[in-house]
Each structure stands twice: as structure tokens, then as C-alpha cells.
Amino acid sequence: MKAWTGALATAVSLLAAGAAMAGDKVGKDCTFNGKKLWGKVQFVTSSPDLKIEVVNSFPDLKVMHVNSFPDACGKWQVVTSFPDLKVQIVTSFPDIKIQYVSSFPGVP
């Protein structure tokens, strides 16, 4: 019985570790590595806070461009100065994958 319990505990811990490794990149609080994923965003070609890849399916975050009040998860207002977040678009090795949407932005 004790061996079976140990095997079960090992299996559960391996599943939890696998889920954490393959888990969501964007937290439930709409952050990535402590950076909030809403607000004023500036697109840059070097020294980004976040590297993104734009995809059509299976995004980590759904993003909607807004002209004002970027106050909710996934709402981005594009600016050229004083950004909350600097973003670089890449085609490989992104930090997160985003999909542009016209409604219902946020964590899918």
C-alpha cells in the first residue's frame, strides 16, 4: 500500500510539473513576468519588454486596439511615447502569441 501511495504521489507531481512547463504563458491576472498586458503600447525594433508573434489561432492573449481607455486585459492603445509596455513583433521564439480581435479581448 505504501509503495502504491508513493507511486501515486510521484505521478501527480510529474503531471503538475508538466502542466506548469506547458502551462499558460499569460497569468489569470493578465500579466507576463510581472508586466501587465493592457495599457499604452509602443512597437519597437529593439530592447522590447515583450516579444510577440501574431497568430490566427491558439493565442496566449487576444488583443483589441482601442483609441482610449486601455483599462482591461488585452486592450492596447498604440502610442509613440511614454508607453506602459514596449513590444517587438517576431516570427520565431516569442514570449507570447497574440491574436487581434474586434471584441472580447483578454486571456482565452
Could you tell me the pLDDT band of residue 17, with boundaries at 50, 70 and 90? very low
Per-residue model confidence as pLDDT tens digits over 58-104 = 999 999 999 999 999 999 999 999 999 999 999 999 999 999 999 99
Give the whole-angstrom CA distance, residue 83 versus residue 63: 16
- pTM score of the predicted model: 0.77
59 found inside a domain: yes
12 found inside a domain: no
106 found inside a domain: no
Per-residue model confidence as pLDDT tens digits over 31-66 = 999 999 999 999 999 999 999 999 999 999 999 999
Cell 521564439 locates to: 93
9, 14, 17, 23 alpha-carbon torsion, rounded to 10°: -110
3 found inside a domain: no
Parallel, antiparallel or unpaired: strands 75-78 and 61-65? parallel
**Segments forming the whole domain that contains residue 80:** 25-100
